[in-house]
Structures are given as C-alpha cells and as structure tokens.
C-alpha cells in the first residue's frame, strides 16, 4: 500500500462519493480510471500516475482477475504502478455486479449505500496499488 495515495483518497472521500452518485460507474476499469484521475491531481507532475496511460490485463469474466498497469505522468514514463484485483469469477459472485443486483433495476439512481459500496471498491483498489519495481513507498530519491 502506498500511503501517499491512500491519503489522497481519504482527503477526497466526499468528492468521490458525489462523483459516483452523479455518474454511475460502468465497470471496474471505469472505477480504476476515476481513482487514477484523483491520484494524478497534483501540482507536481512527477511521481503521479497518468489516467491516459492505463493498460488492462483482463483474463475474462470467468477468472475474476484484472491487472491494471499505469505509467507515470510526464513526457516519458519512468515509473509504473500496478493493481491486481480479483472480485469474483462469474456473473453470480462478481462484487461489482452484485452492488446493483442481477435483476432489473428498481431505480435508475444509486442509493447512498450502493454509492458507498462503489467507493469501498475504489478504496480496496488504492490499497492494492504497488510500484512495479518493488516496494510500496516512494523513495526520497524519486520525490
């Protein structure tokens, strides 16, 4: 876990919730992209992931595995992060899909509880982000 990223997430909890309520997430990639946009809002363009440099490895619906790889902002990415998520292996046990239910939706708008569950998924994602080169912390040399 990269403490700086979790701190940014915590500082933006209400804004994240408001965004989720206003724009229902479509899938895990949508949630992850929103998370990276939040983490990249920094005056210092170094050492932040770039939401335009996300690569997704998706082994298909029946594995439940997705790996997101994100390059650093700037002209050339010298640093990469990854996040491996595993939230269910089929449409019956998938965490994302279970938030809104598997049947026809009773409402087109998210409930407060549903929005908080999506935010919790984003929290789990930020807690799973790791630097590709080992270690969870940004070294003093990289700052």
pLDDT at 131 over 70: yes
Instruction: Please tell me the pTM assigned to this model.
Output: 0.85
34 CB-near residues (< 8 Å, 6+ apart): 16, 19, 25, 122
* Burial status of residue 93 (CB atoms within 10 A of its CB: 0-12, 13-18, 19 or more): exposed
For 40-98, the pLDDT digits (tens) are: 986 565 678 999 999 999 887 666 789 999 999 888 888 999 999 987 766 567 788 77
pLDDT at 106 over 80: no
Q: Tell me whether residue 101 is in a domain.
A: yes
Q: Do 35 and 122 contact (CB within 8 A), yes or no?
A: yes
Q: Tell me whether residue 143 is in a domain.
A: no
Q: Tell me whether residue 46 is in a domain.
A: yes
For 2-44, the pLDDT digits (tens) are: 999 999 999 999 999 999 999 999 999 999 999 999 999 865 6
The structural domain count of the chain equals 1
Q: Tell me whether residue 141 is in a domain.
A: no
Domain around 7: 3-135
């Amino acid at each position: 876990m990269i403490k700086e990223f979790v701190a940014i997430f915590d500082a933006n909890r209400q804004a994240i919730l408001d965004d989720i309520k206003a724009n229902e997430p479509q899938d895990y990639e949508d949630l992850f992209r929103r998370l990276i946009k939040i983490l990249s809002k920094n005056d210092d363009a170094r050492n932040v992931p770039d939401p335009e440099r996300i690569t997704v490895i998706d082994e298909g619906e029946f594995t439940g595995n997705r790996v997101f790889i994100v390059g650093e902002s700037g002209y050339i990415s010298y640093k990469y992060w990854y996040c491996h998520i595993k939230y269910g292996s089929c449409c019956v046990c998938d965490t994302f899909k279970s938030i809104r239910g598997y049947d026809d939706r009773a409402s087109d708008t998210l409930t407060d509880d549903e929005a908080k569950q999506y935010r919790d998924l984003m929290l789990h994602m930020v807690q799973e982000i790791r630097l590709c080169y080992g270690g969870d912390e940004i070294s003093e040399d990289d700052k």
